[in-house]
Amino acid sequence: MSLLWDFITTLLIIWPPYVANATPVVAGKLFRRRTPIDFGRNFIDGRRIFGDGKTYEGFVTGLLAGFVIGELTYIIVAKTVNITLELPAPLTVFIMCLAALLGDLTGAFIKRRLGLPRGAPAPLLDQLDFLLAALLALWLVQPSVLRVIYVIIAVLITPPIHLATNAAAYLLGLKREPW
């Protein structure tokens, strides 16, 4: 029973960064003009800084959607579940979503430095970059919410969830690669 609660609490904690990370895939389709965060520029190694897969439109929509949908979820949960559960405060949710997007950006930066083109798979880095950044932010901003068991559960369940949602996005025509 308590493991079930740990599982549910983990899902609630990582839900806003998940939304922040997933929204750019969908949002990308809505913008006719998309501006790469690196403006198409190269790093000193002659390769792109982040690549065309990281855009301002994706970043901003991801941040807003993660914050708004995450916060709405917490408000609904607080109203319907009468168990006192410490969840990230609004500012923490915002910072976690920001960290998730910066983590994704860092992952892309590392991939480009390794010579991997945009969209090439980087196992574990692709699935965990945003998550670990969001959990680090939570630990820095509101450590009382975080427990080691949540980190363990989050790190174990995120790769399969990430792969499944990306495969679904690919089948729906939202993504160019199934990973």
Binding site for Mg ion (CB under 5 A): 126
The one of ligand CTP, Mg ion, none whose footprint includes residue 58, by CB under 5 to 8 A per kind, is: ligand CTP
What number of chain residues touch ligand CTP (CB under 6 A)? 16
Which residues contact residue 36 at a Cβ distance below 8 angstroms, ignoring those fewer than 6 apart? 50, 51, 52, 54, 55
Our finding on whether 111 is near ligand CTP (CB under 6 A) is yes
The CB density around residue 31, as the number of other CB atoms within 10 Å, is: 13
Burial class (CB in 10 A: 0-12, 13-18, 19+), 97: buried
Which tokens in the block code for residue 57? Answer: 């439109």
Rounded to 10°, the helix 125-141/90-113 angle is: 140
- Binds ligand CTP (CB under 6 A): choice among 8, 11, 28, 85: 28
- Binds ligand CTP (CB under 6 A): choice among 67, 104, 132, 162: 104
Our finding on whether 17 is near ligand CTP (CB under 6 A) is no
In the bound state with ligand CTP, the residue whose beta carbon lies nearer, of 74 and 175, is 175
Phi, psi of 48, deg, nearest 5: -55, 145
Q: What span, in angstroms and rounded, lies between the C-alpha atoms of 47 and 40?
A: 10
- Binds ligand CTP (CB under 6 A): choice among 15, 18, 59, 94: 59
- Binds ligand CTP (CB under 6 A): choice among 58, 70, 88, 103: 58
- Binds ligand CTP (CB under 6 A): choice among 10, 18, 49, 54: 54
Our finding on whether 48 is near ligand CTP (CB under 6 A) is no
